[in-house]
Chain A
């Protein structure tokens, strides 16, 4: 027997195995193993949204990781407060003047002045369609520490737009030196931490910036990781591999709470889940029918059974903790009153207990949102069950993008919607987007009688208290018309290890890594 081919065959197999092992090992680096062993303070944070880039003008992560900052920020009461800018004022309805603080430097040591901030905004507007659309700038002027913005149209809520993470101030000089590709992996901002390494989709290694203007960070290093799976994040928290973990799996909370070293902070988010009624549907054209359906939404059960207590029942589009937020009592389940309203709308129960009008049973088609939050597909089931008890049949159709379904179909009666209604501490942008024709959150083309003059006044008002009052008035009109049924404000569940001090999560999810964040 010729043994040479056999030997070659075996050698080939061994060669393949060696190649596989080399391939696995070749690119590996054993880093970070000793971090913290020198007595330095460090913490690990896990967030749910993986990031491909740290481009401060296209993603939130640079601000979240404490690398960049904005001219103004939201304070604990969700009001716009000074940050890199110490003060600001509207010179006229198109002109805003911001005065920058003295003594602030970027991570590369260059000074923050109005010219640097102007260059940053110019770069942002060129690179980010969202930022350009939000700011609507005609020009920017820089003089010393004074930055003057001229908008294309009156923009009374302009300061709130500057709160957004994509309005971060960066060093354009540093970008020119490093090149865009490298800069977007390690942006240079004014924040308390600078980027040591960024692995897209995986993690950011941060190290404190010794020249930070607002007091040097208490931690030496922070590891900011991403994982899209709630179960894995929760296990990472339970095994203490991470100190702060965002968006925990609610079903694991009982086990977490049993561990004295772990705590869960449940913060009402700025998101609202609601139903939109189809303005073209004859089934829900009568406001009495819409009000009756609103009464058949068992918000308490949704909060307790689906959200396990981690949500607030909603009676308007805005988080109730906001200065312009929802006030008063939310609508509780009320079968008898719903039936009375439906009867006054002409519906009568037939022999089978089904509600009919002119011999036609009341059958509604509900578009259920299958994406983003796990509770969204479950909420329609609770409503379907209560409606069936009242004699209304609800057919549920599932859609990944309800807004797209709405644009393409007219054969629906109500649809689930979910929006961040006040991401920057102001309700104006949502009210415009959701209730004016052509608004980006108004796929159903909902219109409310009497609302437009209020929105017009809101859009022309800069004074915060007056804006809050007008926002509340707008919500009252919207609730009266019942074009939407607001359901809940879901909570953000954040796991915090007891070794973490001087830190709590905010509803806005902007300021995660801070200079105050510390460990015991």
Chain B
């Protein structure tokens, strides 16, 4: 078990190095010049000499491999560099923004569960009947609607028309509701369908038939026996969905003025703020890697076969 954990950790570190290397190269290949942003060239006369000085100071005149080496050496000492635009430690920026993003992700997962669990169960319980059709329609809507569009619709309805919820900002649970629903709704379809398929499969198992033969109520069978088994693939997918959740948070955070990592990354990309982009990628890579690891643990908790090392489970 310990050896397995160490191997996974090593894999994660290797993945982070490769990820940072690819991002670094892609970032440098993309058009744009951070020096113009730093010197605010759009607002006044800046000479070539000024630009050269800044380029030299930041090491942007060095060959690419050298720039990456300097950055990596900094990372090894937990120094992610400074933001080009604000001069602040990237590490501080990330730590400052992380709680808001984690809160949003937690809210989104909760919204996802609230949406997907009943719809998936109803669809399985009433296969090919009205609840199943409604669930299918819902899944179709969710998967075909871009998150920014859904977010705007929710703002229009709940903030503008009904004035029930704040449309932007953070600080209270009320601020979290609309962005969480936006992210959760867009991610729900695959979970609804997965849960439905899992439940249908489980409900056709022999032990379920045996339970029915013993006269156990249908809802009791669904909740106590079938759901637990059907949740295994859902939890497994959940770990892998963290990447999509992070990516979705970029748009959602910008829309709702939510002060998380996503909106910060969006701004950093526009400004070609390389240290912040690199820091963001590293942190999200680490986060997604850890989420996958936690999903493995979660599977162990849900499936005694995995927990007790008996059989493969899923």
Q: Chain A: residues with CB nearer than 8 A to chain B?
A: 5-6, 8-10, 12-13, 16-17, 19-21, 23-25, 27-32, 46, 50, 52-53, 55, 58-59, 127, 129-130, 133-134, 161, 164, 166, 181, 184, 199-203, 225-229, 231-232, 235-236, 238-239, 241, 371, 399-401, 403-405, 408, 419-420, 423-424, 428-430, 432-433, 438-441
Contacts and interface: CB of A to CB of B under 8 A. Distances in A.
Given A6-B228, A23-B103, A401 B31 contact: yes
B191 interface: no
Interface residues of B, number: 74
A423 B43 contact: yes
Contact of B107 (A5, A19, A24, A199): A24
26 contacts: A17-B110, A20-B106, A20-B113, A23-B103, A24-B110, A28-B176, A29-B172, A50-B267, A52-B85, A52-B93, A129-B38, A129-B53, A133-B47, A166-B40, A201-B264, A202-B169, A202-B170, A203-B257, A225-B257, A231-B152, A241-B159, A399-B31, A400-B31, A430-B45, A440-B41, A440-B47
- Most chain B CB within a 10 A radius of its CB, from A10, A59, A424: A10
Given A24-B176, A50-B257, 17 more contacts: A12-B298, A17-B110, A23-B102, A23-B106, A24-B110, A32-B171, A50-B263, A201-B263, A201-B264, A228-B254, A228-B263, A229-B254, A235-B159, A235-B160, A401-B31, A440-B45, A440-B51
B20 interface: no
A199 B97 CA distance: 10
| A6, A229, A236, A429, most chain B CB atoms within 10 A | A229
A20 B294 CA distance: 14
Contacts of B87: 53, 55, 58, 127
B163 A133 contact: no
A13 B45 contact: no
A440 B46 CA distance: 5
Given A16-B298, A232-B168, A24 B173 contact: yes
B150 interface: no
Nearest to A130: B40
A200 B259 contact: yes
A134 B113 contact: no
B46 A433 contact: yes
Q: Select the residue from A203, A241, A432, A440 with max chain B CB neighbours within 10 A.
A: A440
A235 B155 contact: yes
Given A20-B109, A228-B263, A235-B156, A200 B97 contact: yes
Contact of A404 (B33, B38, B302): B33
Contact of A228 (B40, B176, B257): B257
B301 A9 contact: yes
Given A23-B103, A50-B263, A440-B41, A236 B167 contact: yes
B86 interface: yes
A269 B274 CA distance: 31
Q: Which of B113, B166, B172, B176 has the most CB of A within 10 A?
A: B172
A141 to B, nearest CB: 25
B302 to A, nearest CB: 5
A201 B45 contact: no
B167 A241 contact: yes
B206 interface: no
B167 A235 contact: yes
Interface of B: 31-33, 36, 38-48, 50-51, 53-54, 83, 85-88, 92-93, 96-97, 99-100, 102-103, 106-107, 109-110, 113, 148, 152, 155-156, 159-160, 163, 166-173, 176, 180, 224, 228, 231, 254-259, 263-264, 266-267, 270, 298, 301-304, 307
B39 A53 contact: no
Given A12-B302, A29-B172, A438 B48 contact: yes
Contacts of A439: 45
A232 B298 contact: no
B257 A52 contact: no
A24 B106 CA distance: 6
B169 A130 contact: no
B254 to A, nearest CB: 5
Contacts of B168: 46, 225, 227, 232, 236
Most buried by A among B38, B45, B163, B167: B45
Contacts of B103: 23-24, 27-28
A440 B32 contact: no
B228 A9 contact: yes
Nearest to A166: B40
Interface of B is mostly: helix
Contacts of B39: 129-130, 133, 440
A16 B235 CA distance: 11
B38 A232 contact: no
Contact of B167 (A8, A9, A232): A232
Contacts, number: 203
Listed residue (A127, A129, A424) with the most chain B CB atoms within 10 angstroms of its CB: A129
A171 B168 CA distance: 33
Nearest to B30: A400
A208 B87 CA distance: 28
Given A17-B113, A28-B173, A134 B86 contact: no
Given A53-B88, A130-B43, A236-B168, A405 B31 contact: yes
B99 to A, nearest CB: 5
Nearest to A402: B31
A468 B180 CA distance: 54
A184 B88 contact: yes
Given A20-B106, A24-B106, A228-B254, A58 B47 contact: no
Given A28-B171, A130-B38, A433 B166 contact: no
Contacts of A423: 43-44
Nearest to B272: A401
Contacts of A404: 31-33
A163 to B, nearest CB: 11
A28 B38 CA distance: 34
Contact of A202 (B110, B167, B259): B259
Contact of B44 (A59, A235, A424): A424
Nearest to A404: B31
A363 to B, nearest CB: 24
Contact of B257 (A10, A134, A202, A238): A202
A235 B151 CA distance: 12
B232 to A, nearest CB: 10
Contacts of B231: 13
Contact of A31 (B171, B180, B258, B267): B171
A338 B264 CA distance: 48
